[in-house]
Every structure is written in structure tokens, then in C-alpha cells.
């Protein structure tokens, strides 16, 4: 991922954290809570309907939780709609052991283009990003923000070459999430996070929320 592509989300290459102190230290959180509360009735209905359909078709818990790294390095439990088979961890290790090319892809991106763990319903949920909807609870609880770095797993910290992530709440969406999601190496996320942290503003967050709508409508989620 080139620095020019990353700078699509950082029009000013100089750090500007001091230019939006009110938004950074209070306004951003206020916007998060206001937008989630406004969407809460639709959110509860949509998630409930999807969860019921998954329970009927797949006959296992439709929700999935996992520990992720939060602001300051603290751990929190993220909520998602389940998109993988229940024994996903064991299946991943078996698949990587039998497929050297998949192992290289996983080590570089922490993702697989052809992931055997994903269910039929799960593939649809990922393409439409509907599996992320329960994370709005994490936003309301203060673990996450609507916009910020992609939530990182605990064991991925050793692969992350920056400190920007730890200064921010991880986001439901963000610069990386609406851009190079499938193509960039995991470590490239740090460049997106550095640029976002340096240029954090209300205008920038609103722009990223609109870009997220475009990504969802195109069905390019992952």
C-alpha cells in the first residue's frame, strides 16, 4: 500500500491533534452516543431478525465475542454476529498447516481470501457488513467509537509497528476499513492510523461515515 493511497485520508501530512481538542476530548464521544441512540430501534430489530434466522438455519449461537485491544492497551470483549463455524480456530490451524500459500497470506494480512471457516450466511453478512452491527453496543459502552482504527486482536499487537492505535478508541469504521481492506499487509494499518490520529476532526469523521455507506452499498466488506 503506497503512502499516496494512505494520504487520501490525510490531506495535511503534519500532525494537527491540537487543532481539534474539543472534538477529540468530548465531541467525538458525544457524536458516537447520539448517533447510536438515534439508530437503536432499527438496530435492535435488524440484529434480532438476523439472529433469529441464524438460530433457525444454523442451530447454534448467532453471536460471537472475542477479546480485542482497546484504547490505552486495555482489553475489551467485542460483539459480532457469528460468520464462522463454531470450531473456527481448530479449522484455521489445520488449513494453514496443509496450505503453505494460505499460511503466507495469513502471516502477511491476518486474513484469507478463500477462508474455509466462513459459513454461507456468514459470507453474506460480511459482504454487507451486517455482522458488525452488534459492535454498536461496544460503541455505546465506550469500548469503541464509530470511527477509528480496526479493532486489533491481542496476539496481533506484536505485528503493529506504531502507537497511534493506543491513543484512540478502535472504530466500527475508519480509513483502513473503507480503503485497502483486502489488499494491504496488517502492518500497513499503522500508517492509516497515524494519519487519522494526526488529522482527527469532526469533518473527517463525517466524511469517513459517508464513505462507509458507499462501501456497504457496494458489498465490499470483509
Q: pLDDT at position 4, please?
A: 36
Instruction: Tell me: pLDDT of 1 over 50.
Output: no
pTM of this structure: 0.82
Q: Any idea how long the chain is?
A: 222
Q: Where are the alpha helices (DSSP H) in 62-188?
A: 88-98, 100-109, 120-128, 135-141
Q: pLDDT at position 222, please?
A: 52
Quickly state the pLDDT bin for 19 (edges 50, 70, 90).
low
Quickly state the pLDDT bin for 10 (edges 50, 70, 90).
very low
% pLDDT > 90, the chain: 55
Q: What is the mean pLDDT of the chain?
A: 86
67 contacts 126 by C-beta, under 8 angstroms: no
What would the grid cell of residue 169 be? 478508541
Closest CA to 50 of 119, 152, 150, 144: 119
> 219 or 178, which is more confident?
178
121 contacts 54 by C-beta, under 8 angstroms: yes
What would the grid cell of residue 58 be? 444454523
Handedness of CA 31, 34, 40, 42 (dihedral sign): negative
Q: Where are the domains of the chain?
A: 3-10+19-83+118-218
E strand residue ranges, the chain: 63-69, 75-81, 145-147, 152-153, 171-173
Instruction: Tell me: pLDDT of 216 over 70.
Output: yes
| pLDDT tens string 144-157 | 999 999 999 999 99
The single-letter DSSP state of residue 156 is G
79 contacts 99 by C-beta, under 8 angstroms: no
| pLDDT tens string 75-131 | 999 999 999 888 878 888 888 888 888 888 888 888 888 888 888 898 899 888 899
Amino acid at each position: 500500500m503506497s503512502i499516496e493511497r494512505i494520504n487520501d485520508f490525510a490531506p495535511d501530512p503534519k500532525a494537527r491533534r491540537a487543532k481539534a481538542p474539543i472534538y477529540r476530548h468530548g465531541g467525538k464521544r458525544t457524536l458516537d452516543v447520539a448517533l447510536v441512540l438515534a439508530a437503536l430501534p432499527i438496530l435492535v430489530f435488524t440484529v434480532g431478525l438476523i439472529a433469529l434466522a441464524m438460530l433457525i438455519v444454523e442451530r447454534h449461537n448467532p453471536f460471537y465475542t472475542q477479546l480485542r485491544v482497546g484504547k490505552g492497551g486495555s482489553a475489551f470483549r467485542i460483539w459480532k454476529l457469528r460468520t464462522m463455524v463454531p470450531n473456527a480456530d481448530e479449522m484455521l490451524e489445520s488449513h494453514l498447516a496443509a496450505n503453505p500459500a494460505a499460511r503466507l497470506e495469513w502471516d502477511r494480512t491476518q486474513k484469507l481470501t478463500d477462508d474455509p471457516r466462513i459459513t454461507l450466511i456468514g459470507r453474506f453478512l460480511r459482504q454487507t457488513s451486517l455482522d458488525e452491527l452488534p459492535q454498536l453496543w461496544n460503541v455505546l459502552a465506550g469500548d469503541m467509537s464509530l470511527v477509528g482504527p480496526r479493532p486489533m486482536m491481542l496476539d496481533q499487537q506484536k505485528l503493529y509497528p506504531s502507537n497511534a492505535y493506543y491513543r484512540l478508541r478502535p472504530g466500527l469504521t475508519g480509513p483502513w476499513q473503507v480503503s485497502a481492506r483486502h489488499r494491504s499487509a496488517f502492518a500497513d494499518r499503522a500508517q492509516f492510523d497515524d494519519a487519522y490520529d494526526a488529522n482527527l476532526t469532526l469533518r473527517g469523521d463525517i466524511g469517513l461515515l459517508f464513505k462507509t455507506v458507499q462501501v456497504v452499498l457496494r458489498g465490499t466488506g470483509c
